A and B are shown apart, each in its own frame.
Chain A
Amino acid sequence: MTQRTKTALYWGIGIATAFGGVAIARWVAPHYEGKTAAYLAAGGQLLALMGLVVIAFGVRQRVWRKPGR
């Protein structure tokens, strides 16, 4: 896998995770009530923030890769 593809993959997975988290927190959670809704909302928000972390890791692995690889 080339470096370009690898970076693109991180971005793709990160964006999908982030917006998936948003969908769970803002769209799925309101359809439930009580604890289920609270857990879904919290989980969705966490997932969305994880998506941003995945993107940041994608950039990081490119920046910190060993020379010549």
Chain B
Amino acid sequence: MQLSDILNIFQGITSFFTESPLISFGRLGLIVLGALFVYLGKKGTLEPLLMIPMGLGMVAVNAGILFMPAAMSNTIVTGSIDTPVQHYMAEIDGAEARYNAEIARIESVVRSADIKAAETNYALKQRQAAREQAMLKYLADKGAKAGSPEGIRHRQELETTIARYQADLKKSNDSAMPGTLFLAPLVQQPDQLMDIIQINFLQPIYTFAFGNSLIACLVFMGIGVLLDVGFLLARPFLSMFLALTAELGTIAVFPIGVALGLTNGEAASIALVGGADGPMVLFGSLMMAKHLFVPITVVAYLYLGLAYGGYPYLIRLLVPQKLRAIKLPPRPIVKITAGEKLAFAVVGCAVLCLLFPSAAPLFLSLFLGIAVRESGLKVFSTLIENVFLYGATLFLGLLLGVLCEASTILNPKVVLLLVLGILALLLSGVGGIIGGYIAYLVSGRKINPVIGIAAVSCVPTTAKVAQKEVSAVNPNSIILPEALGANISGVITTAIITGIYVALVPIMH
């Protein structure tokens, strides 16, 4: 037995020394970060329901690296090429084989050298024309014109993709390709996907529930069951106004992101962090920036976890103690009936789905949750709240953690995403409080401006934070019903903005 055989037994450790130092240090860093998430989750600093599975997933995926057998890594490499690139490579290979055979035939025939040279030259020109034709077809598939900046970018991307594919294929044939038995997120070709589903244990959940946003919709359904739209209906103007001002980050970060070099889809996806709704960010990034959805969603959930700890400081910084202590005027005794809330949910769902069909799955999920709650369907409420919501949260955390492989997360854009994510959330918080101040002034100094922070969605965290901060200075001031109204309005507004981004980004130039 040689040393290499012993090292081969402990491939997780051996792979640290065979990969590039950046990836190896990245893996180590992510293992430590994962452990830190578990610790902070247990301590309650970050949301434990999400951070404990996510942290453990990060530890496991970065530790459990092995050298994949050639057959498995070939399946992953060939399955990860997207269809237009696959078509392009097939056409290029076909043209190469056809004209190489033609040139060989010309060489084998007994004829004068001049004629042979002319015929060979003609075949070479034909081969070049076939290549150009394949490129034009590829660009047409991508919706770009040959000479345009977009076309040049796609051409460069294609060359990089093919070079990486060939390098990966070589590595794969040498059985030197590192990988895991958790999941292969980039595999998309149906045949290879069917093979890989039988190998990677989390692949079925990823393919059938994550990649198509089902998990995001299940979480949203759960949020719907927890929502009481009565709070919104009781104070519609205040709730909707605050929700609009609390979208400052979602709107302002989009042009900032574009100015800093992100594409429209990437900038819109990271701007959605300002809406403080995890499922919405997941849905939006899957629709608009699929290649970056892992870092964007991880950044979003990380910051949403931190919002609970950070927003109290923002409130204390921007709202003086005297204003935080304001007690709201008495509320009406009449209750809003379940029938009214159900009718509002039906009309709201229909109108929003008609306006923004691209976000219809989110609207349906949210309003289905509300409808189930208001219809008094206890069995469904229990199922959605206890099984769907918590089951989806567990797998969401686990999959996000498992997707945090060093090679995926060490993207140069991640630092920019970290900065823009916190900026979006900060601006939304500031926008909400500005809205709160406007409401305070317009109402004749009766509305507590702290309510504004609750409009930054993130149900019910921000509403609870607002109430906690108010109770700390005046235990008799109850703002929770108004805060929840703004909170619910925030969810709906964020869903509308997601729909607008998803609809507009593909047609923006």
Residues of chain A at the chain B interface (Cβ within 8 Å)? 11, 14-15, 18-19, 21-22, 25-26, 45, 48-49, 51-53, 55-57, 59-60, 62-65
Q: How far is the CB of A68 from chain B (nearest CB, A)?
A: 13
Please indicate the chain B residues that have their CB under 8 angstroms from the CB of A59 in the complex: 233-234, 236, 336, 340, 344
Rounded to whole angstroms, the CA-CA distance of A37 and B340 in the bound complex is 35
Contact flag A55-B347 (CB < 8 Å), given A60-B233, A60-B236: yes
Are the CB atoms of B347 and A15 closer together than 8 Å?
Answer: yes
Please indicate the chain A residues that have their CB under 8 angstroms from the CB of B234 in the complex: 59-60, 63-64
Contact flag A19-B351 (CB < 8 Å), given A56-B344, A59-B336, A59-B340: yes
B348 at the interface (CB under 8 A from A): yes
Rounded to whole angstroms, the CA-CA distance of A14 and B354 in the bound complex is 16
Residues of chain B at the chain A interface (Cβ within 8 Å)? 232-237, 240, 332, 334-336, 340, 343-344, 347-348, 351, 354-355, 496
Contact flag A26-B354 (CB < 8 Å), given A56-B232, A60-B233: yes
Contact flag A25-B355 (CB < 8 Å), given A60-B233, A60-B236: yes
Do most interface residues of chain A lie in helix, strand or loop, or is the interface mixed? helix
Q: How far is the CB of A44 from chain B (nearest CB, A)?
A: 8
Are the CB atoms of A64 and B332 closer together than 8 Å?
Answer: yes
Closest B residue to A64 by CB, please name it. B332
Can you report 14 residue pairs joining A to B where beta carbons are below 8 Å apart?
A: A22-B351, A45-B355, A48-B354, A49-B351, A53-B236, A53-B240, A55-B344, A56-B344, A59-B234, A59-B236, A59-B336, A62-B334, A63-B334, A64-B332
Q: How far is the CB of A35 from chain B (nearest CB, A)?
A: 15
Instruction: List 8 A-B pairs, minimum CB-CB distance, nearest first.
Output: A56-B236, A59-B233, A22-B354, A18-B351, A63-B334, A63-B332, A64-B332, A48-B351
Please indicate the chain A residues that have their CB under 8 angstroms from the CB of B334 in the complex: 62-63, 65
Are the CB atoms of A48 and B336 closer together than 8 Å?
Answer: no
Please indicate the chain B residues that have their CB under 8 angstroms from the CB of A55 in the complex: 344, 347
**Which of B234, B236, B343 counts the most chain A CB atoms within 10 A?**
B236
Rounded to whole angstroms, the CA-CA distance of A22 and B355 in the bound complex is 6
Are the CB atoms of A60 and B235 closer together than 8 Å?
Answer: yes
Q: How far is the CB of A30 from chain B (nearest CB, A)?
A: 13
Q: How far is the CB of B46 from chain A (nearest CB, A)?
A: 35
Are the CB atoms of A18 and B347 closer together than 8 Å?
Answer: yes
Please indicate the chain A residues that have their CB under 8 angstroms from the CB of B344 in the complex: 52, 55-56, 59
Please indicate the chain B residues that have their CB under 8 angstroms from the CB of A53 in the complex: 236-237, 240
Please indicate the chain B residues that have their CB under 8 angstroms from the CB of A48 in the complex: 351, 354-355
Are the CB atoms of B351 and A56 closer together than 8 Å?
Answer: no
Please indicate the chain A residues that have their CB under 8 angstroms from the CB of B496 in the complex: 49
Please indicate the chain A residues that have their CB under 8 angstroms from the CB of B355 in the complex: 21-22, 25-26, 45, 48
Please indicate the chain A residues that have their CB under 8 angstroms from the CB of B237 in the complex: 53, 57, 60
Q: How far is the CB of B467 from chain A (nearest CB, A)?
A: 21
Closest A residue to B496 by CB, please name it. A49
Closest B residue to A25 by CB, please name it. B355
**Which of A45, A49, A57, A59 counts the most chain B CB atoms within 10 A?**
A59
